[in-house]
Structure formats: structure tokens, C-alpha cells
Amino acid sequence: MLEWISNLPNYSAYGTPVYFIYLLLAILPLGIGLYFGKRFSWYEALISFIFIFLMFDGSSWQQGISLIGYVIYQTLLVMIYHRYRQKNNSSGVFYLAAALSILPIVIVKLSPAMLGHNSLLGFLGISYLTFRAVGTVIETRDGMIKEISPWKFIRFILFMPTITSGPIDRYRRFEKDYKKVPTKEEYLNLVNTGFFYLFLGFLYKFVIGYFFGQRFYPFFERAALADPSFPSWNLIGVMYTYGFYLFFDFAGYSLFAVAISYFMGVRTPMNFKQPFKSKNIKEFWNRWHISLSFWFRDYIFMRFVFLATKKRWFKNRNALSSTAYMLNMLLMGFWHGITWYYILYGFLHGLALVANDWWLHFKRKKLKNLPHNKFTTGVAIFVTFNFVMFTFLIFSGFLDTYLFK
């Protein structure tokens, strides 16, 4: 059986134009049903199973087994905690449930650094599924989720368009959206917007992203490694080409996920909103990987601030917010991986958020007459953009090879 599965063709999500042909043909009956006000949940489940199977068959069959075990584990955990929460609300039990939900991703992230190899528990998309699972535990603790079943949770956590790389949805929002079948006019608007996002995603990922990722970035990478001077113009080329590649590739993928979700009658939240137009680093994180940054904001930053305020850990509000920023972004850095460049990336963004708050406070107090016009706005965008690009160079890991070659 395993030999048969390992010999099957593997289709990564949104990897090739052929994948889209198969996917659009498969969801066409679902779209017809939605047009006439019917949601064929059984057919959606079948199609989702087939395409998730195709993502994790072939050479990825071991990841597929890990995915099955992971979903069973998280479903049992969520259902047990939900049943407990209906009668009790101990903080200790909540923290235990949240810790157990996070445990698999902690093992996966620590394994390369601690053991020297990847964990067998890992699979493509485990981070994004963990965010959904932990978020469900937290919403249950807060009393926002009154009713949940194993099937509804599995349907949410394994929502096929977003399974491998997000955007990160939340159970309460997803379930409310899923229950409401759109009207004919609403669905036509979703389809119209979905096709726009689909073609924009093709432009981003397969055209612009291709040239930056497959042509420009490798050229500057080779040139920078061969250039003995430091820093060099070729290194700057690596910085900008990688930054643009990262945006267009990931934004393109996210647009595909949102578009397919729309075709399936679910309004998955957008993940990017012209981030390079940001005037400061806080605005950048409101525009970049929005579902991730808002998840950290709501479940890490805000909860730490609430707890620290309640416990009176800080006398100074600025010290509290600065600590919360650093904690939030360092955790985000560690989430990407236990390597110096991911951790430094998180540290620098935390520091930038602290500096941004300090600057805004200083400007209100000492620079009240500082002009606000197109020029100052342009300067702010320029500074923010170049800081982000510099941190993307660190995030890329290229400096690990470049500095220690």
C-alpha cells in the first residue's frame, strides 16, 4: 500500500498551471451548487480529501501520515478541552491545553537544532494548522466558541485552499461564514473578485516572482559570493531581489488561496495590503502577512499586556509595551526557526517597533511643528522600505553563507 502511494504523482498546492486546471474543474460542481443557494458539504469534503491526498502522496507520503496523526491529536485535545470548559475554567488547565496544542510545532522547530535532523512529526503546513488549533483553544477559553464538533473542527483546520501556507483563519469567523450560504448576487461578486485575485496571483507568482526568484536573485547571489569586497553592490542586489521575490511569491500564493476560498463560498481574509507603502514599521505589520501578525498581536502581545497590567509587573506603560513588542517579535523569529538569522530578524523588528513608539511620542512632545506633507511621507516610506529590505536579507539566510564561507 505504502509503495503504491509513494509512486503516485505529487501535486504541491498552486505549484503549476496544471494544478489549477484540475482544481477549478473539481470545484465547478460546488460553485454551481452555491450559485443556486446550496452548499454541497459532502462533495467539498471529498474534493478536499483528494487534493490534500495529492499534496501528501508520492515522495511526501510520510508527511501525510504525520498530518493524519496531527489532526487526530489536535481534534481530541480541542474536544476534551471544550467539554471541560463548559463546566470549568481553570487557568492551569487552559495553559496546559494551549501548551499541548503547541507541543508538536515546538518539537518540529527544535529538532534540527537539537538532533541535527528534521522531526518525523513535521509536514508542510504544520505551523499554520497549529495557529488555527491554538487559536481555537484560546477562543474556547474566552467563551467565544459555544458549540463545536470533531467534524466542524477538522473541516476548519483542513480547509483545503489554505492548508499549507495560510492565510490563518479563526474558527469562529470561519464557521460563521461557512454556515451562511451566500445569495446568488453575493456569490457572483465573490467569483468575480476571485478571478481578479487569481489572475493577479498568476502575475505575482509565475511572472514577477519567477524573474526575481529564478533570474535576478541567483545572479546577484553568485556575484556576491564571488565578490571579495564587503559590503558590495552585489550584496545590495541580493537584498532587494530577495525581498521582492519573497513578497511576490508569497503574496501570489495567498491570492490563490483567497481566490479558491471565494469560489468555495468562504471569505478567507486577505494576507497582504500593499506593505511597501507603509510609513512606519507598525503600519508595515498591519499590511504584511496580516493573518500572522494579527494572530501574534491578539494572542501574544495583547494577552501579555493584559496579564502584565493585571499583575502590575511594570510601573511604566512604555516599558510594558516595549517588552511586549520584543517578546512578540522574538517569538515570531523563533517560530520561523531556531537559527541566528531568524531570531535576529525578530529582534530587529521588535526593536524597530519600540523605536517607532518612542519616535511618535517624541514627535508629539518635542516636534509639534514638524510638517506633515508628501515629502515627509515619502521619506517615512523610504526609510521603512529599506529597513524592511535589510531585515529580509537577514531573514533569507544568505548572510550565513556569505559571512562564514
End-to-end, the C-alpha distance of the chain in Å comes to: 45
Instruction: Using alpha carbons, select from 9, 129, 116, 114 the residue that is nearest to residue 59.
Output: 9
Calpha distance 397→238 (Å, rounded) = 11
Q: Rounded to the nearest 5 degrees, what angle is found at the Cα of 252, between the Cα atoms of 251 and 258?
A: 85
Instruction: Using alpha carbons, select from 303, 60, 78 the residue that is nearest to residue 171.
Output: 78
- The rounded Cα 174 to chain-centroid distance in angstroms is 16
Active-site annotation holds for 117: no
- CB 352 within 8 Å of CB 281: yes
Q: Is 337 left (phi over 0), alpha (psi -120 to 50) or beta?
A: left
- Residues making up the chain, counted from first to last: 405
- CB 127 within 8 Å of CB 352: no
Neighbours of 30 (CB within 10 A): 20
Handedness of CA 19, 23, 26, 32 (dihedral sign): negative
Per DSSP, 183 falls in state P
Which three cell numbers, joined as nine digits, stand for 387? 529597513
Which three cell numbers, joined as nine digits, stand for 41? 458539504
3-state secondary structure of 12: coil
- CB 290 within 8 Å of CB 269: yes
- The rounded Cα 387 to chain-centroid distance in angstroms is 21
> Annotated catalytic residue: which of 82, 289, 336, 349?
336
Residues acting as catalytic residues: 336
